[in-house]
Amino acid sequence: MPGMSMIEAINDALDVALARRREVVIFGQDVGFFGGVFRATENLQHRYGKSRVFDAPISEGGIVGAAVGLGAYGKRPVIEIQFADYIYPATDQLISEAARLRYRSAGEWWCPITVRAPYGGGIYGGQTHSQSPEGIFSHVAGLKTVIPSTPSDAKGLLLAAIEDDDPVLFFEPKRLYNGPFDGHHDSPVTTWTGHPDAEVAEGFYTVPLGSARIARPGQDVTILAYGTMVHVAIAAAAEAGLDAEVIDLRTLVPLDTGTIFNSVLKTGHCAIVHEATRTSGFGAELAALVQRHCFYALEAPIERITGWDTPYPHAFEWEYFPGPARIAETLRRMVESR
């Protein structure tokens, strides 16, 4: 299995999907000739032609609206919103049209579209290039939400999303595009070279939506995370000196509650880590589920370690992120409260 960065794995998944299904078309801002701002679609137009990989106007609502129509017509559009921050003009099409089509037509029509979007901070992009809007869309019935943390999962989850008959939002942590990162802004830049999760199988394979993975087994405390925060949580467990079990959710909707509950019932402690703001973040839903189903096993209150409840603070980017030190401090306090 060749080693790949996450961006290379995503490109490979799109290549496989285009070759495998004539119904797959890819479009969005600069994804054709230019290959996308992060080069996720590089060389795909050259291989498959301008009728299957093409550029779209700067109109996110128009891009998603066209994808909904193509999906209903029998195509499988994979569209790119250049940054997740730009997705808001398309929310009406996503929520009122894509998410509702199967239900509104009693199953006569469906919307097999995949919406890719670079997501999260860590590249000094400021307020309009660093947001984490997953909580908005995980609230909407009819939409699925996927956030990978490794190249191998990125390829398998993306192919699963493209094969799915319902609309899927596929958020790609851009801080992980070229390598895992432990959350220390002054640490050297790492790459996926030699990392076991960078071994990406060739050809077609899928990682089922709704399946979490145990990124780090442990007995002391359960950490629920996704995307970049999986790697930060692993670093935090080591810094805290605890035998923490890190669960990589991989998909928020559908959610693998079985893996979550089994871990919390074993450890008796649950910490939830996400980069998005705290209030009404997806961590609140996770906390409610764990409280309901694991109450009698809990030995301490559930903790959420998140971004601040502020617009994205460019000047304080690395303080805003949940880092290993902040997470480790919370983990120690939880375990010591026994």
Active site residues: 129
Contact 302, 224 (CB under 8 A): no
Mutual orientation of helices 228-240 and 324-336 as an angle, nearest 10°? 50
Query: In the chain, at which residue ranges do the beta strands (DSSP E only) sit?
Result: 24-28, 53-55, 76-80, 114-119, 144-146, 168-173, 213-216, 221-225, 244-248, 251-253, 270-277, 303-307
**Residue 56, token pair as written in the block:** 């779209």
Pairing of strands 53-55, 221-225: unpaired
CA angle 47, 48, 51 (to 5 degrees): 145
Task: Give the residue from 178, 172, 173, 245 showing the smallest Cα distance to 212.
Answer: 245
Which residues, 6+ apart, have CB-to-CB distance to 316 below 8 Å?
A: none
**Residue 245, token pair as written in the block:** 């079990």
**Residue 188, token pair as written in the block:** 């050297």
**Residue 260, token pair as written in the block:** 């979550």
Cis? peptide before 254, omega within 30° of 0: yes
CA distance 93 to 27: 16
The letter for the amino acid at 122 is G
CA distance 315 to 313: 6
CA angle 21, 24, 27 (to 5 degrees): 155
Which residues, 6+ apart, have CB-to-CB distance to 73 below 8 Å?
A: none
**Residue 176, token pair as written in the block:** 């992980």
